[in-house]
Structure 1
Amino acid sequence: MNNSASFALNRPSYLVKLLKTEDAVVLQTLYEQCTEFALLTDGQPPSPTAARDEFDAVPDGKTTEDKYIFGLFDPQNDLIGMIESIRHYPDDQTWWLGLMMLSPKQRGRGLGSEFYQAFENWVSAQAVKQVSLSVVEANELGLQFWKKLGFEVIRKTEPQQFGNKTHAVYVMRGAVAVTV
């Protein structure tokens, strides 16, 4: 397994590094910049402990040792994006991407796609065959973003509760390109 805690994008001076619990304060700022996502999915702004809670939230059968939260830092070393993922979930050949956020000021310039591609390149070194994720039905832009990156919908769930809202969820899967 590649234990490197950072990787680079193809943009000079942009760096992705593994976030730790002590980074919760700076991550909380990103959550608050992305309030529109929380309103879309949960119908309420992110809680004051949303970032801290992210470090501890894991699915049944997994531990915090299986969780990787990567932060994307710009040339000024400001956190402008994050990817939260769980290794070997729901099976040993898959990484689950639980959340990807990019500061609204950074969107629309290809940075999100590059961030995901850098993550996928890193994951490919973990001998994983695919990445899975889910998108709430109301997040049409998110669904289109993931489809452009080659993800396909494998199923749609029954509606479920997210904060103050109820959504059906598209479960998606994308093959990981093998790096040599």
Structure 2
Amino acid sequence: MRSRVDDDRMTEPISMTITTDDGRRYTLREAVPDDEPGVLALFEAGGAYLEAATGLPSGPGDLQSLYYSLPPGADWQDKLILVVTEDGGPVVGIIDAVRHHPAPGAWSVGLFLLHPSLWGTGTGRAVATVLLDRAAASGTTLVTTTVPVGWSRGRRFLASLRFRFTGRAPRGPATANRSTGPREPAVERAELVPARKG
């Protein structure tokens, strides 16, 4: 996959265009309220992942959790909810990230979900590469994330991006600022030091 950033101004809101090798164009941008129906439809389509991550089928509370979940010690102003659209069409991806967490200069990525029709096409890698390049250009020195134990597709995806797995996260009564579900599986932590270009 080839990707390119059309807007590399670090002080502007995130809005980037990704062009894949087969000529498809995607936009990665910050979510707006009008995106909510598309995100709900994406959650319904991506139910297999959400069930692997939470132990339950997707429900309306997942959208609320996305907007209100924040890790302890993080600032609301650093929370990013990004959507992916194809040629200005419906939402086909969602990314939840927090800048300057778990430490200054780091990014923590919570949810990274593309429509299942795009799984295995290389689109996720193209989107992630553009976002990681943006993070590195803005001075980010560490990107952290987790993957549900047993979600092999997600583990392979992170490995392809050169994330290093650092072990299981401790299980507690809360995840970010929400209660951990009774069937929610353990997660494995992963981290990446983004490579600076140039």
TM-score by length of 1: 0.90
Match of 2:119 in 1: 107
The aligned amino acid for 1:172 is: A
- How do 1:7-22 and structure 2 match up within 5 A? 7-11=16-20, 12-22=24-34
1:57 equivalenced with 2:75 (yes/no): no
1:156 equivalenced with 2:156 (yes/no): no
Q: Compute the RMSD of aligned alpha carbons.
A: 1.9
Instruction: Report if aligned partners of 1:159, 1:166 keep a CA contact under 8 Å in 2.
Output: no
Deviation string 1:18-61 (CA, Å, 9 cap, x unpaired) is 00344222211111110111221222112213223311211122
Q: What percent of counterpart residues are identical? A: 21
Instruction: Report if aligned partners of 1:21, 1:55 keep a CA contact under 8 Å in 2.
Output: no
SS at structure 1 position matched to 2:19: coil
Instruction: Report if aligned partners of 2:85, 2:93 keep a CA contact under 8 Å in 1.
Output: yes
Deviation string 1:124-171 (CA, Å, 9 cap, x unpaired) is 222111210011212121111101110011222345575242433211
Match of 1:5 in 2: 14
Match of 2:191 in 1: 173
Match of 2:128 in 1: 116
Instruction: Report if aligned partners of 2:101, 2:107 keep a CA contact under 8 Å in 1.
Output: yes
In structure 2, relative to structure 1, the CA distance for the partners of 1:139 and 1:160 (3 Å cut) is farther
Aligned residues: 180
Match of 1:74 in 2: 86
Instruction: Report if aligned partners of 2:79, 2:99 keep a CA contact under 8 Å in 1.
Output: yes
The aligned amino acid for 1:10 is: T
Q: Please, which runs of 5 or more residues in structure 1 have no aligned partner?
A: none
Distance (whole Å) between structure 2 residues aligned to residue 113 and residue 85 of structure 1: 16
